[in-house]
């Protein structure tokens, strides 16, 4: 069991857990990308990761934002920039967000599952709280699958909660401890510390949230990647041929510009149009189909709509070519 040292000059990890409505998954994923772009210019920002839900064990989205210091994290949390960004996506929020700020210790990743338990310890009872936690840890160690019990102390100016990171080797073993009569007895013994207790579960070991042990973020499901690629194709194909027909051929190629340069300019324009406007707009329009929990009827309707749009796009290009060569 470890206590956290003073982190005034050390990197910290801002861990935010948030429940998102099912129909807001795609929008929330895109929004996190926009937040990441803003953070790139934020003083003290180090990195951002987004961990999607993995039901049934983990139903929250987890965002981990690393900063070079607690002051940088505090400035971001309290900024008007963040408040405006949250206002853009708030309609999809379910309940309130859960925010933890922890020393970014860089411990190794494992495949465990964790519970993040926060306490508001009354002033003057810190030693009694630690003694109580020692009794809890001793009991946890007797349960199957126990890995670690880590304590993070409050960080002045950021949060006043004590945070316990409890890890087991499987969700079943973690549940067995959390639901055990022995734990309930220990909680009653520490009732004076439990008034503000909050328990959040994560399907990945808490150590996944720190960079030294991280190999890669959990992959999005193949279905979501497949759908995303289809949406990109939907807007990429017409952009390429419309640019080539109406802009590149008459205004660039006809003036003797080399093919390699004309192609580069076309790709530059296309990627900017897609990245900033067209792909986000397409995802918003097809959000009802992209969401992982779309019903079978919606899945079929989405694929049928895309097939029709593909056909219309190819038909339009065929007509343009026929008209051009028939002149």
Q: Is 118 helix (H, G, I), strand (E, B) or coil?
A: strand
Task: Please count the other Cβ atoms lying within 10 Å of the Cβ belonging to residue 130.
Answer: 15
Statement: the pTM of the whole predicted model exceeds 0.75: no
Given the DSSP bridges, would you call strands 162-168 and 198-202 parallel, antiparallel or unpaired? unpaired
Alpha carbon distance 157, 147 (integer Å): 31
| Continuous segment of H or E residues that includes residue 176 | helix 171-178
Task: List pLDDT tens digits, range 248-258.
Answer: 888 888 888 88
Residue 29 has pLDDT above 60, yes or no: yes
Average pLDDT over residues 297-324: 90
Identify the structural domains of the chain with CATH numbers, from first to last.
12-213 (3.30.70.100), 222-326 (no CATH)
Q: Please give the DSSP secondary-structure letter assigned to residue 55.
A: T
**What is the band of 309 on the pLDDT scale with cuts at 50, 70, 90?**
very high
Q: Rounded mean pLDDT of 38-63?
A: 80
Crossing angle of helices 126-140 and 181-189, in 10° steps, is: 170
User: In the structure encoding, which two tokens stand for residue 236, read together?
Assistant: 């990429």
pLDDT band at 112 (very low <50, low <70, confident <90, very high): low
167 vs 117: CA distance, rounded Å: 11
pLDDT at position 186 is: 92
Q: What is the mean pLDDT of the chain?
A: 79
CA-derived radius of gyration, the chain? 26
Structure tokens at 288: 């009802």
State residue 225's pLDDT score.
74
Tokens, residue 286: 């097809």
Give yes or no for a contact between 23 and 93, defined as CB atoms under 8 angstroms apart: no
**What is the per-residue pLDDT across 65-90, written as a single tens digit (0 to 9) for each?**
888 888 888 889 888 998 899 889 88
Q: Give the model confidence (pLDDT) of 260-292 as tens digits.
A: 888 888 888 888 887 777 887 787 788 778 765
Contact 88, 194 (CB under 8 A): no
pLDDT at position 217 is: 36
159 band by pLDDT with thresholds 50, 70 and 90: low
pLDDT at 110: 46
User: For 138-152, 212-226, 264-278, which range has the lowest pLDDT when averaged over its residues?
Assistant: 212-226
pLDDT of 140 over the 60 cut:
yes
Q: Does pLDDT of 92 surpass 50?
A: yes
Residue of 315 and 198 predicted with greater confidence = 315
pLDDT > 90? residue 312: yes
Residue from 60, 61, 57 nearest 48 by CA: 61
- Residue with the bigger pLDDT between 97 and 309: it is 309
Confidence of residue 310 (pLDDT cuts 50, 70, 90): very high
Does residue 169 surpass a pLDDT of 50?
Answer: yes
């Amino acid at each position: 069991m470890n206590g956290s040292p003073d982190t005034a000059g050390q990197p910290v990890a801002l861990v935010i857990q948030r429940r998102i409505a099912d129909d807001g998954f795609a929008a929330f994923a895109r929004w996190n990308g926009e937040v990441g772009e803003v953070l790139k210019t934020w003083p003290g920002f180090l990195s951002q990761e987004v961990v999607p839900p993995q039901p049934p064990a983990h139903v929250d989205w987890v965002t981990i934002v690393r900063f070079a210091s607690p002051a940088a994290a505090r400035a971001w949390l309290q900024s008007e920039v963040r408040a405006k960004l949250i206002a853009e996506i708030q309609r999809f929020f379910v309940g309130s967000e859960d925010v933890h700020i922890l020393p970014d210790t860089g411990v190794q990743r494992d495949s465990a599952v964790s519970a993040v338990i926060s306490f508001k310890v009354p002033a003057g009872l810190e030693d009694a709280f630690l003694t109580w936690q020692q009794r809890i840890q001793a009991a946890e160690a007797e349960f199957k699958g126990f890995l670690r019990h880590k304590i993070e102390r409050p960080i002045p100016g950021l949060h006043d909660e004590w945070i316990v990171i409890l890890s087991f080797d499987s969700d079943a073993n973690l549940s067995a401890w959390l639901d055990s009569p022995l734990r309930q007895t220990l909680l009653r013994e520490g009732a004076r510390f439990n008034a503000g207790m909050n328990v959040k579960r994560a399907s990945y070991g808490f150590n996944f949230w720190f960079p030294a042990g991280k190999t890669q973020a959990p992959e999005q499901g193949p279905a979501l990647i497949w759908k995303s690629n289809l949406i990109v194709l939907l807007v990429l194909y017409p952009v390429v041929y419309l640019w080539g027909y109406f802009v590149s051929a008459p205004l660039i190629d006809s003036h003797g510009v080399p093919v390699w340069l004309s192609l580069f300019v076309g790709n530059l324009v296309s990627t900017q149009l897609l990245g900033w406007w067209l792909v986000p707009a397409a995802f918003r329009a097809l959000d009802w189909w992209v969401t992982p929990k779309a019903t079978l009827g919606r899945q079929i309707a989405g694929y049928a709509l895309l097939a029709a749009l593909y056909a219309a796009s190819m038909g339009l290009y065929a007509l343009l070519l026929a008209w051009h060569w028939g002149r």
